[in-house]
Amino acid sequence: MAEAEESRAGGAAKPLFAGLSDVSISEDIPVEGEITVPVGSHSPDEDYSTLDEPVKDTIMRDLKAVGKKFVHVMYPKKSSALLRDWDLWGPLVLCVSLALMLQGGSADSKEDGGPQFAEVFVIIWFGAVVITLNSKLLGGTISFFQSLCVLGYCVLPLTVAMLVCRLVLLASSGTVSFIVRLVVVMAMFGWSTLASTAFLADSQPPNRKALVVYPIFLFYFIISWMILTFTPQ
Protein backbone atom coordinates (compact mmCIF):
# COMPACT_ATOMS: atom_id res chain seq x y z
CA MET A 1 0.00 0.00 0.00
CA ALA A 2 2.76 2.37 0.91
CA GLU A 3 4.59 1.64 -2.32
CA ALA A 4 1.49 2.47 -4.40
CA GLU A 5 0.99 5.78 -2.62
CA GLU A 6 4.58 6.74 -3.11
CA SER A 7 4.58 5.93 -6.80
CA ARG A 8 1.36 7.87 -7.37
CA ALA A 9 2.65 10.87 -5.42
CA GLY A 10 5.85 10.86 -7.45
CA GLY A 11 3.96 11.43 -10.71
CA ALA A 12 4.34 9.73 -14.09
CA ALA A 13 7.97 10.86 -14.53
CA LYS A 14 9.39 8.48 -11.99
CA PRO A 15 9.71 4.83 -13.04
CA LEU A 16 7.63 2.33 -11.19
CA PHE A 17 8.95 1.18 -7.86
CA ALA A 18 11.74 3.77 -8.01
CA GLY A 19 11.12 5.06 -4.55
CA LEU A 20 10.92 1.69 -3.01
CA SER A 21 14.09 2.03 -1.05
CA ASP A 22 12.71 5.16 0.59
CA VAL A 23 9.57 3.46 1.70
CA SER A 24 9.11 3.15 5.39
CA ILE A 25 6.06 1.94 7.17
CA SER A 26 4.86 4.84 9.27
CA GLU A 27 3.46 4.44 12.71
CA ASP A 28 -0.14 5.15 11.82
CA ILE A 29 -0.40 2.16 9.46
CA PRO A 30 -1.12 -0.74 11.75
CA VAL A 31 0.88 -3.83 11.12
CA GLU A 32 -1.00 -6.93 12.11
CA GLY A 33 -0.39 -10.58 11.96
CA GLU A 34 1.37 -13.35 13.77
CA ILE A 35 5.06 -13.54 13.45
CA THR A 36 6.02 -16.76 15.12
CA VAL A 37 8.92 -18.94 14.38
CA PRO A 38 7.77 -22.53 14.80
CA VAL A 39 10.10 -24.23 17.22
CA GLY A 40 10.52 -27.88 16.39
CA SER A 41 9.90 -30.33 19.20
CA HIS A 42 13.17 -32.04 18.47
CA SER A 43 16.35 -30.10 18.19
CA PRO A 44 18.59 -31.43 15.44
CA ASP A 45 20.86 -33.09 18.00
CA GLU A 46 18.00 -35.24 19.43
CA ASP A 47 16.88 -36.43 16.01
CA TYR A 48 20.40 -37.32 15.25
CA SER A 49 20.76 -39.41 18.37
CA THR A 50 17.55 -41.46 18.14
CA LEU A 51 18.10 -42.19 14.47
CA ASP A 52 21.55 -43.47 15.06
CA GLU A 53 21.02 -45.44 18.21
CA PRO A 54 20.97 -49.22 17.94
CA VAL A 55 17.54 -50.75 17.30
CA LYS A 56 17.87 -52.68 20.54
CA ASP A 57 17.87 -49.39 22.48
CA THR A 58 14.74 -48.16 20.76
CA ILE A 59 12.88 -51.37 21.39
CA MET A 60 14.12 -51.68 24.96
CA ARG A 61 12.95 -48.16 25.76
CA ASP A 62 9.39 -48.99 24.75
CA LEU A 63 9.53 -52.37 26.42
CA LYS A 64 10.73 -50.83 29.64
CA ALA A 65 7.86 -48.34 29.55
CA VAL A 66 5.37 -51.16 29.06
CA GLY A 67 6.98 -53.23 31.78
CA LYS A 68 6.92 -50.29 34.19
CA LYS A 69 3.19 -49.91 33.59
CA PHE A 70 2.64 -53.61 34.26
CA VAL A 71 4.34 -53.16 37.63
CA HIS A 72 2.13 -50.15 38.34
CA VAL A 73 -0.94 -52.27 37.70
CA MET A 74 0.18 -55.11 39.93
CA TYR A 75 0.85 -52.70 42.79
CA PRO A 76 -1.75 -49.98 42.24
CA LYS A 77 -0.66 -46.95 44.17
CA LYS A 78 -2.13 -43.62 43.27
CA SER A 79 0.65 -42.74 40.88
CA SER A 80 -0.22 -41.00 37.68
CA ALA A 81 2.54 -42.57 35.60
CA LEU A 82 0.03 -44.81 33.89
CA LEU A 83 -2.09 -41.86 32.93
CA ARG A 84 0.61 -39.48 31.81
CA ASP A 85 2.49 -41.57 29.25
CA TRP A 86 -0.24 -43.71 27.85
CA ASP A 87 0.46 -46.35 25.29
CA LEU A 88 -1.67 -49.10 23.84
CA TRP A 89 1.04 -51.75 23.35
CA GLY A 90 0.38 -53.38 26.70
CA PRO A 91 -3.40 -53.63 26.20
CA LEU A 92 -2.89 -55.06 22.72
CA VAL A 93 -0.49 -57.75 23.93
CA LEU A 94 -2.79 -58.63 26.84
CA CYS A 95 -5.90 -58.73 24.69
CA VAL A 96 -4.32 -60.92 22.03
CA SER A 97 -2.84 -63.35 24.55
CA LEU A 98 -6.13 -63.58 26.47
CA ALA A 99 -8.10 -64.18 23.26
CA LEU A 100 -5.60 -66.82 22.15
CA MET A 101 -5.73 -68.62 25.48
CA LEU A 102 -9.54 -68.64 25.36
CA GLN A 103 -9.39 -70.67 22.15
CA GLY A 104 -9.66 -74.17 23.47
CA GLY A 105 -9.91 -75.77 20.10
CA SER A 106 -13.62 -75.05 20.13
CA ALA A 107 -13.37 -73.73 16.58
CA ASP A 108 -13.80 -77.18 15.11
CA SER A 109 -16.62 -78.27 17.39
CA LYS A 110 -20.30 -77.34 17.17
CA GLU A 111 -21.15 -73.66 17.14
CA ASP A 112 -22.37 -73.15 20.67
CA GLY A 113 -18.94 -73.16 22.17
CA GLY A 114 -16.81 -70.58 23.79
CA PRO A 115 -16.18 -67.13 22.41
CA GLN A 116 -14.28 -66.87 19.16
CA PHE A 117 -11.08 -64.85 18.94
CA ALA A 118 -12.82 -61.95 17.24
CA GLU A 119 -15.57 -61.94 19.86
CA VAL A 120 -13.10 -61.61 22.73
CA PHE A 121 -11.19 -58.92 20.88
CA VAL A 122 -14.34 -56.94 20.12
CA ILE A 123 -15.70 -57.30 23.64
CA ILE A 124 -12.51 -56.01 25.22
CA TRP A 125 -11.94 -53.08 22.89
CA PHE A 126 -15.56 -52.13 22.34
CA GLY A 127 -16.24 -52.47 26.06
CA ALA A 128 -13.28 -50.24 26.90
CA VAL A 129 -14.42 -47.63 24.36
CA VAL A 130 -17.97 -47.65 25.71
CA ILE A 131 -16.78 -47.27 29.30
CA THR A 132 -14.50 -44.40 28.31
CA LEU A 133 -17.34 -42.67 26.47
CA ASN A 134 -19.58 -43.22 29.46
CA SER A 135 -17.12 -41.63 31.86
CA LYS A 136 -16.53 -38.70 29.54
CA LEU A 137 -20.24 -38.13 29.06
CA LEU A 138 -20.74 -38.14 32.81
CA GLY A 139 -18.29 -35.28 33.05
CA GLY A 140 -14.95 -37.00 33.60
CA THR A 141 -11.73 -35.12 32.99
CA ILE A 142 -9.67 -38.01 31.72
CA SER A 143 -8.71 -38.16 28.08
CA PHE A 144 -9.93 -40.87 25.73
CA PHE A 145 -6.69 -42.76 25.20
CA GLN A 146 -5.59 -42.47 28.81
CA SER A 147 -8.75 -44.25 29.87
CA LEU A 148 -8.32 -46.92 27.20
CA CYS A 149 -4.75 -47.41 28.37
CA VAL A 150 -5.74 -47.88 32.02
CA LEU A 151 -8.62 -50.25 31.24
CA GLY A 152 -6.42 -52.29 28.92
CA TYR A 153 -3.52 -52.58 31.34
CA CYS A 154 -5.81 -53.62 34.18
CA VAL A 155 -6.72 -56.76 32.23
CA LEU A 156 -3.28 -58.08 33.30
CA PRO A 157 -4.48 -59.81 36.51
CA LEU A 158 -7.21 -61.56 34.53
CA THR A 159 -4.70 -62.73 31.93
CA VAL A 160 -2.62 -64.19 34.76
CA ALA A 161 -5.80 -65.87 36.04
CA MET A 162 -6.41 -67.35 32.57
CA LEU A 163 -2.89 -68.77 32.54
CA VAL A 164 -3.39 -70.31 35.97
CA CYS A 165 -6.76 -71.76 34.90
CA ARG A 166 -5.26 -73.40 31.85
CA LEU A 167 -2.48 -74.92 33.92
CA VAL A 168 -4.96 -76.20 36.52
CA LEU A 169 -7.15 -77.67 33.76
CA LEU A 170 -4.12 -79.51 32.37
CA ALA A 171 -3.74 -81.23 35.72
CA SER A 172 -7.36 -82.15 36.44
CA SER A 173 -10.89 -81.04 35.57
CA GLY A 174 -12.98 -82.10 38.53
CA THR A 175 -14.71 -80.20 41.28
CA VAL A 176 -11.50 -79.37 43.14
CA SER A 177 -10.00 -77.75 40.08
CA PHE A 178 -13.22 -75.80 39.61
CA ILE A 179 -13.05 -74.44 43.13
CA VAL A 180 -9.40 -73.49 42.69
CA ARG A 181 -10.21 -71.74 39.42
CA LEU A 182 -13.18 -69.96 40.98
CA VAL A 183 -11.08 -68.61 43.84
CA VAL A 184 -8.26 -67.49 41.54
CA VAL A 185 -10.60 -65.81 39.04
CA MET A 186 -12.54 -64.04 41.75
CA ALA A 187 -9.37 -62.74 43.37
CA MET A 188 -7.99 -61.47 40.07
CA PHE A 189 -11.33 -59.91 39.15
CA GLY A 190 -11.30 -57.99 42.42
CA TRP A 191 -7.71 -56.92 41.79
CA SER A 192 -8.48 -55.69 38.26
CA THR A 193 -11.50 -53.71 39.36
CA LEU A 194 -9.70 -52.16 42.30
CA ALA A 195 -6.66 -51.27 40.19
CA SER A 196 -8.64 -49.58 37.45
CA THR A 197 -10.89 -47.83 39.96
CA ALA A 198 -7.83 -46.49 41.76
CA PHE A 199 -6.61 -44.93 38.55
CA LEU A 200 -9.89 -43.75 37.07
CA ALA A 201 -12.09 -42.75 39.97
CA ASP A 202 -10.17 -39.60 40.79
CA SER A 203 -11.01 -37.97 37.50
CA GLN A 204 -14.76 -38.13 38.11
CA PRO A 205 -17.03 -35.69 39.88
CA PRO A 206 -17.60 -37.06 43.38
CA ASN A 207 -21.37 -37.51 43.17
CA ARG A 208 -21.08 -39.72 40.10
CA LYS A 209 -18.28 -42.06 41.10
CA ALA A 210 -20.56 -45.06 41.48
CA LEU A 211 -22.07 -44.42 38.06
CA VAL A 212 -18.60 -44.67 36.53
CA VAL A 213 -17.34 -47.60 38.60
CA TYR A 214 -20.32 -49.86 37.86
CA PRO A 215 -19.62 -50.29 34.09
CA ILE A 216 -15.98 -51.10 34.91
CA PHE A 217 -17.22 -53.74 37.34
CA LEU A 218 -19.53 -55.18 34.66
CA PHE A 219 -16.73 -55.21 32.08
CA TYR A 220 -14.29 -57.17 34.22
CA PHE A 221 -17.09 -59.42 35.42
CA ILE A 222 -17.86 -60.45 31.86
CA ILE A 223 -14.20 -61.13 31.13
CA SER A 224 -13.95 -63.16 34.35
CA TRP A 225 -17.03 -65.12 33.34
CA MET A 226 -15.48 -65.98 29.99
CA ILE A 227 -12.30 -67.15 31.77
CA LEU A 228 -14.17 -69.20 34.36
CA THR A 229 -16.41 -70.99 31.86
CA PHE A 230 -13.53 -71.96 29.63
CA THR A 231 -13.63 -75.67 28.95
CA PRO A 232 -10.91 -77.32 26.91
CA GLN A 233 -11.80 -79.93 24.34
Partner 1 sequence: MATVDDLKFQEFDDAANLLAGNPDATTISIDEPSENPKNQYGLLQDSRREEDDELLGTDDSDKTELLAGQKKSAPFWTFEYYQTFFDVDTYQVLDRIKGSVFPIPGKNFVRLYIRSNPDLYGPFWICATLVFAIAISGNLSNFFIHLGKPAYRYVPEFRKVSIAATAIYAYAWLVPLALWGFLMWRNSKVMNIVSYSFLEIVCVYGYSLFIYIPTAILWIIPQKAVRWILVMVALCLSGSVLVMTFWPAVRDDNRRIALATMVTVVLLHALLAIGCLAYFFDAPDLNVLIPTAAAQNGTIVATKTQ
Angle between helices 89-101 and 117-137 in degrees, nearest 10: 140
Interface mask (CB under 8 A) for partner 1, residues 122-151, using x and -? ------------x-xxxx------------
Q: Which of 57, 58, 231, 232 binds partner 1 (CB under 8 A)?
A: 231
The CA distances from residue 144 to 49, 69, 215, in Å, are 32, 18, 16
CB 43, CB 35: distance < 8 Å? no
The DSSP annotation for 81-145 comes to HHHHS--SHHHHHHHHHHHHHT--SGGGS-SSSS--HHHHHHHHHHHHHHHHHHHHHTT--S-HH
Of residues 94 through 113, those in contact with partner 1 by CB under 8 A are: 110-113
**Is residue 63 a contact residue for partner 1 (CB under 8 A)?**
no
Q: Is residue 218 a contact residue for partner 1 (CB under 8 A)?
A: yes
Site for partner 1 in 20-39 (CB under 8 A): none
Name which position in 14, 60, 222, 232 contacts partner 1 (CB under 8 A).
222
**Residue numbers at the binding site for partner 1 (CB under 8 A):** 110-116, 119, 134, 136-139, 207-211, 214-215, 218, 221-222, 225-226, 229-231
